[in-house]
C-alpha cells in the first residue's frame, strides 16, 4: 500500500536532492543579503523611505513563481493517480504556493504598517515555492532577496518631519515684539506695565 509520503513524492515528481540544494542556496542568499542591507536607508526629497527596490524584486519573484507554479500544479493535478482528496489537498497547497508571493508583493504599498511580517511571509513562501518549480529557480531566489529587503528597508508608515534646531527662532524671525516687564511697584499695586517709548529707548549721542 502506498503511504502518504509516497503519494507526496509522486505528486512532486522531482528529485528531493534538488530541492534540498535549492533551499541551501536560498539560506545562503538570505543570510548574505540581510548582512549587506541591514540599516540601509533610501530617502527621497521628502525624507521618506523609497521601497522601490524591495517592491520591484518581490513583485518580479511573485510573477515568476506564479507563471511557473500554476501550469506545473495543473499538470500534476491531471497526472496524479492517487486518491481524489489528496489530489485536492495537494492542488490547493500548490496553487497557494504559487499565488501568495505575488499577492503579498502587490499589496506592499497598502500594508506598510506590518512590513516585517509580510517580508517574512514572502521569504517563507519563496522557499516553499521550490516545491512548485521555484519560479524557474530564479523566482525563488529573488523572492528570498525581496523578502529580506522588505524586512530591512520597507517603511512602516509615512515619514514625519522632525523639528529642526532653528524652529524656536520662528517667533523671533516673524517679528514678535518684546513685551515690557512690570516694575516692582507696579507688581505690588497690580498696575499693568506701560509700553516703552521707542524714541526714548535710544540713547542720544553726546554732543
- Mapping DSSP onto H, E and C, the string for the chain reads CCCHHHHHHHHHCCCHHHHHHHHHHHHHHHHHHHHHHCCCCCECCCCCECCHHHHHHHHHHHHHHHHHHHHHHHHHHHHCCCCHHHHHHHHHHHHHHHHHHHHHHHHHHHCHHHHHHHHHHHHHHHHHHHHHCCCCCHHHHHHHHHHHHHHHHCCCCCCCCCCCCCHHHHHHHCCCCCCCCCCHHHHHHCCCCCCCCCCCCCCCCCC
Task: Classify residue 175: in a domain, yes or no.
Answer: no
Tell me the average pLDDT of the chain: 75
Task: Classify residue 180: in a domain, yes or no.
Answer: no
Task: Classify residue 84: in a domain, yes or no.
Answer: yes
Task: Classify residue 193: in a domain, yes or no.
Answer: no
Q: Which domain holds residue 119?
A: 4-39+55-153
Is 0.75 surpassed by the pTM of this model? no
In total, how many domains does the chain have? 1
Predicted confidence (pLDDT) per residue in 14-43, tens digit:
777 778 888 888 888 888 888 887 765 544
pLDDT computed for residue 207 by the predictor? 53
Task: Classify residue 50: in a domain, yes or no.
Answer: no
Amino acid at each position: 500500500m502506498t503511504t502518504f509520503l509516497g503519494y507526496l513524492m509522486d505528486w512532486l515528481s522531482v528529485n528531493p536532492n534538488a530541492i534540498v540544494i535549492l533551499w541551501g542556496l536560498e539560506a545562503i542568499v538570505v543570510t548574505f543579503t540581510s548582512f549587506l542591507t541591514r540599516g540601509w536607508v533610501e530617502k527621497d526629497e521628502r525624507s521618506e523611505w523609497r521601497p522601490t527596490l524591495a517592491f520591484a524584486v518581490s513583485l518580479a519573484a511573485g510573477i515568476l513563481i506564479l507563471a511557473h507554479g500554476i501550469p506545473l500544479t495543473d499538470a500534476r493535478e491531471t497526472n496524479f493517480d492517487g486518491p481524489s482528496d489528496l489530489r485536492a489537498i495537494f492542488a490547493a497547497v500548490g496553487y497557494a504556493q504559487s499565488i501568495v508571493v505575488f499577492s503579498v508583493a502587490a499589496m506592499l504599498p497598502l500594508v506598510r504598517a506590518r512590513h516585517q511580517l509580510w517580508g517574512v511571509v514572502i521569504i517563507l513562501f519563496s522557499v516553499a515555492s521550490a516545491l512548485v518549480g521555484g519560479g524557474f529557480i530564479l523566482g525563488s531566489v529573488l523572492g528570498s532577496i525581496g523578502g529580506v529587503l522588505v524586512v530591512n528597508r520597507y517603511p512602516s508608515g509615512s515619514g514625519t518631519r522632525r523639528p529642526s534646531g532653528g524652529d524656536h527662532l520662528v517667533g523671533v524671525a516673524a517679528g514678535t515684539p518684546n513685551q515690557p516687564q512690570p516694575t516692582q511697584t507696579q507688581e505690588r499695586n497690580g498696575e499693568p506695565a506701560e509700553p516703552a517709548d521707542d524714541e526714548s529707548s535710544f540713547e542720544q549721542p553726546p554732543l
